[in-house]
Structure 1
Amino acid sequence: MPTPTKKITELLQRPEVTTDLLQIVKSVVAATAAWWLSNAILDSAMPFLAPWTALLTVHATVYRSLSRGAQSTVASAIGVGLSFLIGNYLGVSLWTFALALFVGLLGARVTWIRDEGIAIATTAIFILGSGFDSQQPLLLERIIEIALGVAVGLAVNLIIIPPIRDRQASRYVDSINRRMGDVLTSMSDEFSDSWDTDRADEWFRETESMSDELNTAWQSVRFARESRRANPRGDLRKSLNPRVRNQAQSQAEETSYENILQRVDEGISHLRNLTRTLRDATYAEGEWDDSFRREWGNIVKDAGRSISDPDSDVEPVHERLDSLARALSDDQHLPTASWPLYGALITSMRHIAVVVDDVASAREAREPNKG
C-alpha cells in the first residue's frame, strides 16, 4: 500500500500539478515584485495597481500573457481616461460613479479586448473610489504603474520556466491507451469463460469515460500548442541544439498529437462497437465454436497488451486475425448462422489492430518531445 509520502511525491510529479504550482509561484513573484517596485521606485500613492495588473498578466502560457497583457494595458488606460473625463467634467457622485461602471462594462464587450475588458471598469473603481481630486494630477503615473505591472508579469512569465505542455498531453494519451488495453484484456478473460450483459455494459460505460478523457486530452493538446507560441524555452533549445531543431521539424511532419488523438478516438469508437456486439451476443442462440473462442480471446488479450504497452513482445495481431478468418472459412462444420457474429468480432478487432499499430508507432515518434 503506498505511503502518504509516496502519494504526495507521485502527485507532485504529475505535469498538471507541477504546472499549477509553478503558476502560483510565478503569480506571487510577479505581484510581489510589482508591489515593491511601485513602492520603492515610483513611491506610488496607489501601490496596488501594479501588482494587480501583474496578476492579470501572468497566465499559463507566454503567448497568452503577451496577448492578455496588451489587452490589460489598453483596457486599464481606457479606464484611466474614462475616470479623467467623468471626474473632471461631471464630478464624482453616485450617478457619475455608476455611469463610469456602465460605460466601462460596455467597453468590456469590445471584441479585441474582451478577455481583459473588465479592467476598464475596475480601474475606474480604483481611481474614482480612492478620491478623484487627489488622483487627478497623477493620472499619468497611474498609467505608468499599470504598465509596470504588465511588464513585471511578462518578465516573470518569460524568465521562470515557460511551460510546454506536451508531457501533460502525452500522459492523457498513455492513460487512454492503458484503459483501452485493460478493457480488451478484461474482454479476453471473460470471453474465454462466459459473460453477461452487465459485464458488457461495464465495458461500454468505460468507453464513454474514455471519450470524456479524450476531450480533456484535446484541450491539453490545444494548450500545448499555444504554450509553444512565443515561448523562449522551446526556441532556446532549438537554437542551442541544431539536432533538436531538425528532429522537431521532421517529427512535426511525421506525427502530431492531433493525429494521435484522432486515431485514439477511432480506436475508442471501434472498441465501443465491439462491446455492443458482445452485449448482443449474450442473447444469441447456440454454442460458440471452441477454436474460435480460444484463438480470438488470445488475439484480444495480446492486442490489449500491445496498446497499453507498445514495448511488449507479442505476435502481430493483424496477421493472426487474417489467419483466424481463413481457418474459419475452411471449417465446413461451422454453422452458417454464426458467421455474421464471428465476422463482426473479427472486423472490429481488425480495425482496433490497425489503431494499435499506429498508436505504437506514434508513441515512438512523440517520445523525444516530452518536456
Structure 2
Amino acid sequence: MPHQRSVAEYLRQPEFATDLLQIAKGVIAATGAWWFSDAVLESQMPFLAPWTALLTVHATVYRSFSRGVQTTIASTIGVGVSFLIGNYLGVGIWTFALAMFVGLAGARLSWIRDEGVAIATTAIFILGSGFDSQQPLLVDRLLELALGVAFGLAVNLLMIPPLRDRQAARYIDSVNRQMGEVLTDMSNQFSHTWDSDSAQEWFERTEAMSRELESAWQTVRFARESRRINPRTAMRIGSSHGRPAAPESAPHDEEEGYESILLRVDEGISHLRNLARTLREASSSETEWNTQFREEWASIVADAGRAIADPDSEVEPVFDRLEQLSADISQDQTLPKTTWPLYGSLITSLRHIVVIVDDVASARRARESD
C-alpha cells in the first residue's frame, strides 16, 4: 500500500506531466518529420528531418525557437562544409577528419554554441552516406533540415508547454515544511538535552534545503523563459467568457512574487543554519543553561516551526513572545555575563526567522488568493 501511494503521488507530480509531455512532443515531431520527408518529399536521407526535429523540440517555445535557429544555421554550415570538402578534396580518412575538425571548431562559436555540434554531425551524415549520390541534392538537404526545425516548432506551439507555476509553489512549500520540521525537532531536543550529532544533523538538513531551493530557482527561471513566445501566456492574460483581460504585467508580477519568496526563504535557511551551528558549538560547552530561557525559547521555537510548516496554523504571536523573553532575560541579574553572547545569538537568529516566517506566510496567502 505505501508503495502504491508513492507511485500515485509521483504520477500526480507536475514534473511527471511535464516529462511525459516532452516525450510525446519529441515522438510526434520526429515521426511527423520522418513521414513527410519519406512519403511526401521521397527523400533519399529521410533521417535528416526527424533528427533536426528532435534537436528543435525543447521544453519551452522560446528555447525551441532559439535552438531551432541555431540548429538551422549549424546544419546549413555542416552541409556547406561537407559539399566543399567532398567536391574539391574528395572523401577519405583525412578529408573526413578535416570536416570533423572544421565542424567541432565551428561549434565553439558563441552565437551557435548550444547547437554548434550539428555542423560536425551533419557532415557525418552527408559524407558517411555516400557523398557522390548526395552532391546534386544540396537544396534538398537544406530543405529537409528546415523541415525538421519547422516540425519541432509547430509541435511545441500546438502542444502548449507548461508554465511551471505549480512546480515553483511546490518547491517553496516543501522547503517551508522542512524548515518547520527542523525547528520543531530542535525545540523538542533543546527542552531536554541535545548533543553535537543532533546539531550537526540539523545543519546538514539546512544544506539539503539549500539544494532544493536551487531547484526552485531553476524552476522559476524556467517559468520566466516559458512565458516568452508562449500562447498559453496570452490565453491567461486574455479575456475569459467576456471578462476583461488581465494587466499585461500580471505574469511578470507573479514571477517577481515567487522570486521574492525564494529570497526570503533563502534568508530563513541561512539563519536556521546559523542557529544549528550555534547549538552545535554550545553542545560542547559546560555552561549551565538558565531554566526560564531554555523553556520559553524552546516553546517559541516550536511555535515558529509550526507556523512556517503550516502558515494557516493557529499559534500565539511569536515575535512578541520573543521580545518579551529578551526583556525578561536582560533584567535577570543572576545571569553570568559569559552567557549573553550565546543567548543573544539564539534570540537574534530566531527573531530573523520569525520575521521571515510572517513574510513567507503572507506572500503564500497572497499567491493563493491570486
What band does the TM-score fall into relative to the shorter chain?
A: over 0.9
Q: Which runs of 5+ in 1 are unaligned?
A: none
Please report how far the alpha carbon of residue 231 of structure 1 lies from its aligned counterpart in structure 2 after TM superposition. 1.2
User: Is the alpha carbon distance of 1:144 and 1:283 closer, same or farther for their aligned partners in structure 2, counting shifts above 3 Å?
Assistant: same
TM-score using structure 2 length:
0.93
User: Is the alpha carbon distance of 1:68 and 1:250 closer, same or farther for their aligned partners in structure 2, counting shifts above 3 Å?
Assistant: closer
Q: Deviations over 1:126-178 (max 9, x none)?
A: 11111122111211011111111100000111111212122222222111111
Kindly indicate whether the alpha-carbon contact (under 8 Å) linking 1:255 and 1:365 is maintained by their aligned counterparts in 2. Answer: no
Q: Which range moved further: 249-258 or 281-290?
A: 249-258
Give the residue type in structure 2 aligned to 1:131.
G
Q: How does 1:29-68 map to 2 (within 5 A)?
A: 29-68=28-67
**Percent identity over paired residues:** 67
Kindly indicate whether the alpha-carbon contact (under 8 Å) linking 1:255 and 1:362 is maintained by their aligned counterparts in 2. Answer: no
What is the distance in 1 between the residues matched to 2:72 and 2:255?
41
Q: Give secondary structure in 2 for the equivalent of 1:245.
A: coil
Matched with 2:198 is: 199
Q: How does 1:339-358 map to 2 (within 5 A)?
A: 339-358=340-359
What is the distance in 1 between the residues matched to 2:369 and 2:139?
50
Give the residue type in structure 1 aligned to 2:286.
E
Matched with 2:208 is: 209
Matched with 1:249 is: 250
Matched with 1:99 is: 98
Q: How does 1:302-313 map to 2 (within 5 A)?
A: 302-313=303-314
Give the residue type in structure 2 aligned to 1:199.
S
Matched with 2:89 is: 90
What is the distance in 1 between the residues matched to 2:104 and 2:3?
51
Asked if 1:325 is matched to 2:326, the reply is yes
Cα RMSD of the aligned pairs, angstroms, is 2.0
Please report how far the alpha carbon of residue 68 of structure 1 lies from its aligned counterpart in structure 2 after TM superposition. 0.4
Q: Which runs of 5+ in 2 are unaligned?
A: none
Q: Which range moved further: 264-273 or 287-296?
A: 287-296
Give the residue type in structure 1 aligned to 2:331.
D
- Moved runs in structure 1, 4+ residues, more than 4 A? 241-244
User: Is the alpha carbon distance of 1:37 and 1:326 closer, same or farther for their aligned partners in structure 2, counting shifts above 3 Å?
Assistant: same
Q: Give secondary structure in 2 for the equivalent of 1:164.
A: coil
Matched with 1:81 is: 80
Please report how far the alpha carbon of residue 256 of structure 1 lies from its aligned counterpart in structure 2 after TM superposition. 2.5
What is the distance in 1 between the residues matched to 2:38 and 2:254?
51
Q: Give secondary structure in 2 for the equivalent of 1:319.
A: helix
Kindly indicate whether the alpha-carbon contact (under 8 Å) linking 1:251 and 1:366 is maintained by their aligned counterparts in 2. Answer: no
Q: How does 1:277-316 map to 2 (within 5 A)?
A: 277-316=278-317
Matched with 1:259 is: 260
Please report how far the alpha carbon of residue 286 of structure 1 lies from its aligned counterpart in structure 2 after TM superposition. 4.5
Kindly indicate whether the alpha-carbon contact (under 8 Å) linking 2:78 and 2:120 is maintained by their aligned counterparts in 1. Answer: yes
Please report how far the alpha carbon of residue 45 of structure 1 lies from its aligned counterpart in structure 2 after TM superposition. 1.0
Q: Deviations over 1:23-53 (max 9, x none)?
A: 1111011101111111121111111011000
TM-score using structure 1 length:
0.93
Please report how far the alpha carbon of residue 181 of structure 1 lies from its aligned counterpart in structure 2 after TM superposition. 0.5
Kindly indicate whether the alpha-carbon contact (under 8 Å) linking 1:50 and 1:146 is maintained by their aligned counterparts in 2. Answer: yes
State the number of aligned residues: 368
